[in-house]
Amino acid sequence: MLQQRKKPLSGFTYYDLAAIALGVLLFVFFAVTAKNGVSAPDESFYFTVTQRLALGEKLIADEWNIAQLVHLLNVLPYFAYTRIAGGTEGIILFMRYLFIAVDAIFYAYVYLRLRRYKLWGVAAALSFCGVILQTIFSITYFTAAPMAVLAFCLILLTTEGEVNRPRLLFCGVLLACAILAEPYLIAGFGVWFVTVTARQILQKKRRSLLPAYGFLLDARVFYHVTLGAVAVFVPFMAYMIIGGSFAQFPRAFPYLASGAELGLLGSVLLRKSMDAARFFGFPFVICGLLALVGAAVYRCRKKEDARFKKILFLCASAALAGGYICAGIRALGTKEMNVWVAFAEYHNFSFLLFSPVPFLLSEKKNPRLTAFWAAGAVFGLLVDASSAVILGAGGGLMRTACLLKLAEFIPELREEPKKKTAKRGDILKKGTAVLLAACAAAAIVWHGGYVLCETVYKPVEKLFQHVPGPLTAEIEKGPYKGLKTTPEIADVYLRTLADLDRIKETAGGRPVAVLDLAPYTNLYMDLPYGTYTAWFEYYETERLAAFWTLRPERQPVCIYLPFYDKGLLEPYSDEIMQLKLDLLQPYAEGEIITGEAGYIINVTELHPMEIGEGRH
């Protein structure tokens, strides 16, 4: 039997006023600072696949990138903007504002769903919607997928009684969108299917599997959610097949399955977890692990021990707060980019250790909320095991579930004991409660405050430059038009655009290949792609030659090799530039022109390789 959930609040309350005031402050801050920073290559990359579709190219056949399907969600705004503006000039700033508006609407939805949790609901909505933006304000696999999964979980969590059929079908649509945004989530759907099937088999044998989760494991619920997902996947697959996306698929599959994102699957999880442990400090990590193990042991005991429960929670909270503070001091005390990148990548690691503790210690059972947390944990592991980001994307889901559990758990710590205690004991109990609340609040505020102020929009481009500088230059043309950056980056950007203007005149509307991780160059030229993706590293020329073999109509007439790392960062050394030319030489020949910010190669002859016979 499911626990009776909190009743909805009636009428306008102070909590509503707090939600509105804090939400307005949050999104006004985002809007005012939206121009700040050029950000990483990811931001412009998320619109290049949409651009390929606008140019008549095809998913999978032309775009060899595992994260490509999420770009379908950007199709409508991209088409609308480019038709109204006449091109891609200023598109990044427009998309930032658009996503801020989408996030504001989603914030209102999350709060209304969690309104019954009062200030905890406000904190959960602010935490998720303030952090979900990360460094990039656009639809990505780590924004669209968590938002869809969160909406799915909130419907199941906050609906009284059984969820009706229309809502279950809508949950299926949300799940389909999440899987399109992050294909690895299909594994999570598979786990749900196996669990539901096992429960059905055991029921026929008069056994019970996870009885408290009966509604969530009901075959009818799974059926209707699946039906909603199929309603999205069937037309999607029809579009893909009819459009010719699977052209040359059998021959291209080995190259599709060898991309950088696929290569990361599971291989970095353990290593980066150890790096995160070192970054936060092993004393805090060990303390957090011991508190987690202690909470698990406590859960196995039949007898409740209020004092032991408080000690365990205090240890877990102190470890979380201490880890964030020590790591934050390390980051704030340096200007080295690798330290800031590490903090951005690892900021959810400690929370992963903390978040199960209140679920294990609480005596109150809420299966749907527990399933919500489990969905966040599975999501985080699936996404982060396949990406260079560690425990970041799923953190918002776990954090939201944990905050809601704290709303149920904290009152347990304040409950009066059955026997009266001495006055000294009352003071100690109240002091412990205050300390517990302070530790939990410090950890949550530190986490959200760091990501909001230093990762979402930072006063200096710490995640983009080795040496931070003031954002005193405003870009006046191209896809980055309207953004503020440093004078050095603005200068490189404008010189690169001058090279691209020369290439556009030479290309005459034919394909062009940019052999570096600089997707904004593709947005600026708005020409057919001569590469298998805009997410291109210069050493992947063998894979590029295979693409030219399979897609001869995409063979480029011009190739551009930027002098600057990721198109805008520090200049490559002479040795690296020569290596780039040497790697390209077996596959392409042409006149090499030294431009203002890179080499321009007017191609005279290409040498696509035979599939299966790689060259070195």
Same domain, residue pair 245 and 394: yes
Same domain, residue pair 282 and 372: yes
Give the pLDDT confidence score for residue 528 in this predicted structure.
95
Domain assignment of residue 578, yes or no: yes
Give the pLDDT confidence score for residue 485 in this predicted structure.
85
Whether 262 has a pLDDT exceeding 60, the answer reads no
Domain assignment of residue 504, yes or no: yes
Domain assignment of residue 9, yes or no: no
Q: Which residues pair with 600 in a beta bridge?
A: 560, 593
Same domain, residue pair 497 and 445: no
Domain assignment of residue 210, yes or no: yes
Give the pLDDT confidence score for residue 93 in this predicted structure.
92
Domain assignment of residue 189, yes or no: yes
Give the pLDDT confidence score for residue 554 in this predicted structure.
92
Q: How far apart are CA 343 and CA 274, in angstroms?
A: 14
- Phi then psi dihedrals of residue 589, to 5 deg: -125, 150
Q: The domain containing residue 522 runs over which residues?
A: 486-606
pTM value > 0.75: yes
Same domain, residue pair 448 and 566: no
Same domain, residue pair 306 and 416: yes
Same domain, residue pair 412 and 508: no
Q: How far apart are CA 192 and CA 154, in angstroms?
A: 17
Same domain, residue pair 223 and 182: yes
Give the pLDDT confidence score for residue 309 in this predicted structure.
86
Same domain, residue pair 491 and 449: no
Pairwise pLDDT comparison (489 vs 66), residue with the higher score: 489
Query: Where among 456, 477, 499 does a domain terminate?
Result: 456
| pLDDT band at 509; cut points 50, 70, 90 | very high
Beta strands, E only, 82-147: none
- Taking residues 173-197, report their average pLDDT: 87
Same domain, residue pair 508 and 549: yes
Same domain, residue pair 150 and 228: yes
Residues 176 and 144: beta-carbon distance below 8 Å: no
Residues 122 and 15: beta-carbon distance below 8 Å: yes
For the chain, what is the mean pLDDT?
81
Domain count, the chain: 2
pLDDT in tens, 131-159: 776 556 777 777 888 899 999 999 988 88
Same domain, residue pair 452 and 492: no
The order of strands in the sheet holding 588-594 is: 512-514, 558-562, 598-606, 588-594
Residues 150 and 396: beta-carbon distance below 8 Å: yes
One-letter amino acid for residue 190 of the chain? G
Whether 246 has a pLDDT exceeding 50, the answer reads yes
Same domain, residue pair 428 and 499: no
Domain assignment of residue 391, yes or no: yes
Q: What percent of the chain has pLDDT over 90?
A: 31
| pLDDT band at 389; cut points 50, 70, 90 | low
- Taking residues 400-415, report their average pLDDT: 84
Query: Where among 413, 435, 456 does a domain terminate?
Result: 456
Domain assignment of residue 480, yes or no: no
Domain assignment of residue 399, yes or no: yes
One-letter amino acid for residue 379 of the chain? F
Query: Where among 456, 476, 497 does a domain terminate?
Result: 456
